[in-house]
Structure 1
Amino acid sequence: MAVINIGSINIDYVHRVPHFPQAGETLRNLSYAAGLGGKGANQSIALALAGGQVAHVGRVGEDGLWAKAKLADAGLNTDNVVTDEGASGHAVIYVDDEGENTIVIHGGANETLTSEQITTALELAQPSDWLLLQNETNMILQAAQLAKSKGLKVAYAAAPFDAAIAAKMIPHVDLIAVNEIEAAQLADTMNMPVNDLPVDKILITKGSKGATFTDGDQSFGIEAFKVDPVDTTGAGDTFTGYFLARLDLGDDPATALKIASAAAAIQVTRPGAADAIPHISEVFEFLERHK
């Protein structure tokens, strides 16, 4: 089994700040760093480091060739990461002393995927495979429809969140991953309780309050591990990638939730997004210490 992730690849420009700037305020940062990010790339690396088999599908500009190389170094198949003439996607991220963040995204090459690229990426896919999608690329509805016609399972991490887009995607997905605010907004848009959303599997992350997973009439929950956060950028992506990888590898939902929660707990104690995601061996060591 494998996961094909049609996802964003961003260059993250991270500024640590004493506080988030107010309207009209010019603020001197405390530090600056650039690294690999984007929800798609973060989730692909989490999938791979969790032990999963991952093929990433996306686009970068010439300025992002190092990002493609970094994905390959993490063990991903990058045969369908295409180089564009324009700029790569990027994100400007502010991180405060509490580890919280605000993010501004430029889509760039992430928004230039073609139907030919999607078709090629899914040509050799097997019905047991997962397709993973987010809202940081174009072509997600078309990709979901094609994947379902081939018998694949479709997972959808509905972020950056848009309730109208998520509502259109729901009929074509098997698993949706949202945070608790997004879940409530989607339920309001579709005029039904969260648990009645017409999707088989619902993963709801709740930050420091943990996460829940509903699969039909079964429900599972996990409390978050208590850590001192340094940077929460990419924590949800780490959780989602780890959770899907462990499900795909055959773990039961409760075990997958525990492993994903531990991975996210480790990730937020480190600066950065993709660079902060732990290897599965680190996660098992963490769980051994926190029995």
Structure 2
Amino acid sequence: MIWNLGSINIDNFYEVPHLPAPGETLAALSYGFGLGGKGANMSVAAARAAARVSHIGAIGPDGRWTRDRLIEYGVDTPHIAQIEVPTGHANIVIDPEGENSIVLFQGANVHLTEAIIGAALSEASHKDFLLMQNETNGQEYAATTAKSLGLRVAYAAAPFEAAAIERLLGRIDLLVLNEVEAAQLEASTGKPAEALGVADVVITLGAKGCRWVSNAGEKHFDAYPADAVDTTGAGDTFTGYLVAALDRGMEMEVAIDLALKAGALMVTRRGTADVIPDLKEIQDHFGI
């Protein structure tokens, strides 16, 4: 079982001829909206990877449909609170090469209470996963509570803030971050990934794949080729699939391979949570 303390956003998408420069006004070529937020993306990915996942989060009155959408995608939602703060949202501009620029409003995501988090984790079982990202409050309380209950803690270090990770060191079992974030964390702590005291660190490298750093050493995994049209949500898909595979008892190498396949298929689609591939689609696409 995965307990995901995560953000829920309303994503607004704008296709543009190129990413805007400072002071530039662009006319969008198209507009769309959907379910997003790193937390919601990861919950959907984990559910579509055949794991059971319960989302811990908050929405405003304008976001009731996001909770309904999560239910449709197989995510448990009893611990999503509705509060009197607007739902978080993101305005995403995407260029023809699939690169993006995002403006994020945190909204209800940073108004979680310890009572909301504690009520959810009181239902958790030993060896369940607590998954978190840096788009909500309550991370330290959640991690401390989870470790006291014997849960495994997975942390996706985005949006990146070195201090947020440093506050959680000693309570993280799996850390997922990208190459730039890994370099920034090393500069802040003075320690490379293998010296952080985290059992498993997975560093994503975009089109170059990823690195897995553990007590047993380091291993590189190549990415699967893909014709990218939109990179939004690809990292969240990777992480959701990775944690789901580990929760289902797969070895790390097999879990990473599945997560890379999911990420490669995700970048061929436009959108976020609503277009995350399910396990059968990945199996069919890669012939597994």
- TM normalised by structure 2 equals 0.98
Structure 2 unpaired stretches of 5+: none
Instruction: Report the equivalent of 1:242.
Output: 241
Equivalent position amino acid for 1:268 in 2: V
Q: Secondary structure at the match of 1:231?
A: coil
1:104 partnered with 2:103: yes
The Cα offsets for residues 132-181 of structure 1, whole Å up to 9 and x where unpaired, read as 01100000111101111111110010110001111111221111110011
Equivalent position amino acid for 1:165 in 2: A
CA distance in 1, matches of 2:212, 2:246: 12
Query: Contact between 1:44 and 1:241, CA under 8 Å: does it hold in 2?
Result: yes
1:47 partnered with 2:46: yes
Instruction: Report the equivalent of 2:199.
Output: 200
CA shift, 1:194, in A, is: 2.3
1:15 partnered with 2:14: yes
CA distance in 2, matches of 1:197, 1:187: 9
Equivalent residues in 2 for 1:52-201, closer than 5 Å: 52-201=51-200
CA shift, 1:193, in A, is: 1.9
Equivalent position amino acid for 1:106 in 2: F
Deviates more, 1:254-263 or 1:131-140: 254-263
Equivalent position amino acid for 1:16 in 2: E
CA shift, 1:119, in A, is: 0.8
1:228 partnered with 2:224: no
RMSD across aligned positions (CA):
1.0
CA shift, 1:218, in A, is: 4.2
The Cα offsets for residues 99-122 of structure 1, whole Å up to 9 and x where unpaired, read as 011111100000110010011001
Structure 1 unpaired stretches of 5+: none
Q: Secondary structure at the match of 1:220?
A: strand
Equivalent position amino acid for 1:99 in 2: G
CA distance in 2, matches of 1:29, 1:63: 24
Instruction: Report the equivalent of 2:31.
Output: 32
Instruction: Report the equivalent of 1:262.
Output: 261
CA shift, 1:128, in A, is: 1.3
- TM normalised by structure 1 equals 0.97
Query: Contact between 1:58 and 1:113, CA under 8 Å: does it hold in 2?
Result: yes
4+ long deviations beyond 6 Å: none
CA shift, 1:17, in A, is: 0.6
Equivalent position amino acid for 2:29 in 1: L
